[in-house]
Amino acid sequence: MSKSIYTFTVDKVAKVSEKRTEKYVDESGAEKERTITEEVEKKIPVEVLVKKPNRKQIQEAEMVFSIEMSRCIKSGILTKAMLVNKYSDNGGLFSEQENKELNEMYSKLTDLQGKLVTLNIVPDEEKTDEQKSSLEKIQGDIISLRKDIVERETSYLTLFDHTADVKAQNKCVLWYVLNLCHYKDPSKNHTDFVPIFEGKTFEEKEESLSKLEEDESEIYKLTYNKLASIISFWYFTGKADKEEFDKMIAEKNG
């Protein structure tokens, strides 16, 4: 099995073919046995796997983040740093020291993402060991920095909901959901895990998501909210702890 962030099982109701034998008496009066195949509805255990992203996937997701961030800023959507500065002129959301620290964190995050984009320009097969090592360190630093920022802003999440940063983060989380989530459905004769969202490009996978939602697909209804929560938790904390995920899912299920 591939390295995973989390795995779980859901019960899906599906029609499956089942064989049964019955005895009957033929025209000559002899008792015989025959096999009948019929469609029956049963609960089928479907395995769901959230794969751990490889280095290339992390790079692609960060590129999605950077592109969406840039698009939002060009459209006039404020970044968190801009919003903090705006409120600073009116007394501020945070103390002067907190504002300074947050601005430094935002600046460092922007710098790290810029370095990541620059390193990604070099094809994987041409990267030196030093460049690959730098990529891994930068990716780790970005995850750690995001976690620190989120912890500081917890009380102000509603205010920040419509900033460029949050929109870019949401796009990045969506990219991970569409690319990391797989399932194995016995009712579809799956012998191995296959992607839940079909397609080769981000746009094709988004279209697949929309179709599953519109069709009220059972696999979508059973898994999507759970998958989005799992990916979001992992994305912002960098943790892939089964106990943490189990606890989170249990709380969401009431």
Assigned token pair, 3: 């390295």
139 is a domain residue: no
Q: How far apart, in whole angstroms, are the C-alpha atoms of residue 50 and residue 204?
A: 19
202 is a domain residue: yes
Number of domains in the chain: 1
Q: Count other Cβ atoms within 10 Å, centred on residue 68.
A: 20
Chain mean pLDDT for the chain: 85
Supply the pLDDT for residue 37: 81
Q: Phi/psi at 51 (nearest 5 deg)?
A: -75, 150
220 is a domain residue: yes
Supply the pLDDT for residue 245: 79
Instruction: Using alpha carbons, select from 93, 71, 97 the residue that is nearest to residue 82.
Output: 93
29 is a domain residue: yes
180 is a domain residue: yes
pTM above 0.85, yes or no: no
Per-residue pLDDT tens over the stretch 130-166: 888 888 888 888 888 888 887 777 656 667 778 999 8
**Is the distance from CB of 120 to CB of 139 less than 8 angstroms?**
no
Domain span at residue 24 reads 4-53+176-252
Please give the residue that has the higher pLDDT: either 80 or 47: 47
Per-residue pLDDT tens over the stretch 64-85: 999 999 999 999 998 888 877 7
